[in-house]
A = this chain, B = another copy of it.
Amino acid sequence: MRLAEVAERFGATLDCPEQGDRPVLGVAPLETATATDISFLANPKYTALLQTTEAAAVFVRPDFQGEAACPLLRVPHPYLAFAKCIEWFYPQPKPPAKIHPTAILGADVVLGAEVTIGAYTVIGDRVRIGDRTVIDSHCTLYDDVVVGADCRIYSHCVLRERVQLGDRVILQNSVVLGSDGFGYVPLPDGRHYKIPQVGTVVIGNDVEIGAGTTIDRATLGETTVANGTKIDNLTMVAHNCTIGENAILCAQVGLAGSTHIGNHVVLAGQVGAAGHLTIGDRTIVSAKSGISSSVPPDSRMGGIPAMDQTLYLKVSAAVKQLPDLLKRVRKLEAKVGG
C-alpha cells in the first residue's frame, strides 16, 4: 500500500502530498511504529510522541496544530480511522461456511444461509441460527435457542434453553448464557429450597461478551442485554437484570439480581452492584466501586459504598491524613481539656 492510497481510502488530507508514494505495510501505536506503519493521535496527552515517532504517517484531527516527525493524515476521527486501518491491513479470515461432520444437530434445527458450525459442537432441538453466523468447536446450544445473523460464537460457549441472541453478536470463548439464577427460599430449618429458574436470557444486536462471562437466566421472564452493549471477561450478570443500550461493563463486574443498568452506562473493572436497584443512563462508576442504592442518570460514582465521584476523590485524599488527624485532635483535646 502507498500512503496516498491510505489517505484516499479514509478521506484524509495528507499534509505532505509529495510523500504519497511512501510504502505502508502495517499499523502500530506511536511508540512502536516503524517506518512502514500508520499510527494515530487521539489523546492530546500523547502529542509529544509525534516528534519522536518513526511512523510512516499519523492520523490526527483536522485542526491539529503541532510539530511532527512524519507526515500527518488529517481526518475527523483519527481513532476510528486507526481501527479501520487495522481491519484493512490485518483482515481476519472467516472460516468457510460448513457444518463440521462431528457437529450434532437436534431435531427441527433451522439454519440460515452460509452458517458455519465447528467440530464437536452440539445443537439442541428446534434451535434457529441466522445467516452467515459462525459457531466454533465445543459449543453447546440447548433446545430452543435462537441466534441471529452474522454472529460469531467462539469455542466452549454455552447457550442454555431458549436463550436468544440478536444479530452481529460476538461471544468470546467460554461464555455461559442462561445458567440458573441463584434463587432459594430460606426454610425455617436453615436449608435453602431451590426456586426453579424458568425464564431466559435475551441479548440484543451488536452485543459483545467477554471470555468466561456468565449471565444467568431470569427466574421468570427475561434477563436482557440491549443493543450495542459490550461486556468484558469474567463478568457476572445475575437473574432478572436488565442492561440498556451501548453500555460498557468492564472485566469482573458483578451485578446482583434484578438490577437495571441504563443506556450508555460505564461500569469500570470489578465494580459490584447490589440487587433490585437502578443505575441511570450515562452513569459512570469508577473501578472497584460498590453500588448499594439506585443512582440517577448522568451520575459519576466511586467508592465502597459508592458516593458522588467528586466527593469520593476528596475522601480518598483525606483518608490518608486520618492517622495524622487523630494525633492533631488528641493534641487539641489536651490543649482545651477535651
Contact = CB atoms under 8 A, between A and B. Distances in A.
A130 interface: no
A108 interface: no
Given A179-B172, A214-B210, A333-B332, A156 B156 contact: yes
A83 B181 CA distance: 13
Nearest to A155: B140
Interface in A173-190: 173-174, 176, 179-180, 182, 184-185, 187, 190
A180 B184 contact: no
Contacts of A250: 182, 256
A293 to B, nearest CB: 12
Contacts of A290: 270, 287-288
Contacts of A191: 206, 228, 246
Interface in A48-93: 77, 79-80, 82-83, 86-87, 90, 92
A288 B304 contact: yes
Contacts of A236: 232-234, 251-252, 269
A158 B173 contact: yes
Interface of A: 27-29, 32, 77, 79-80, 82-83, 86-87, 90, 92, 102, 104, 118-120, 122, 136-138, 140, 154-156, 158, 160, 170, 172-174, 176, 179-180, 182, 184-185, 187, 190-196, 198, 206, 208, 210-212, 214, 216, 219-221, 228, 230, 232-234, 236, 238, 245-246, 248, 250-252, 254, 256, 263-264, 269-270, 272, 274, 287-288, 290, 292, 304-305, 307, 311, 314-323, 325-326, 328-329, 331-333, 335-338
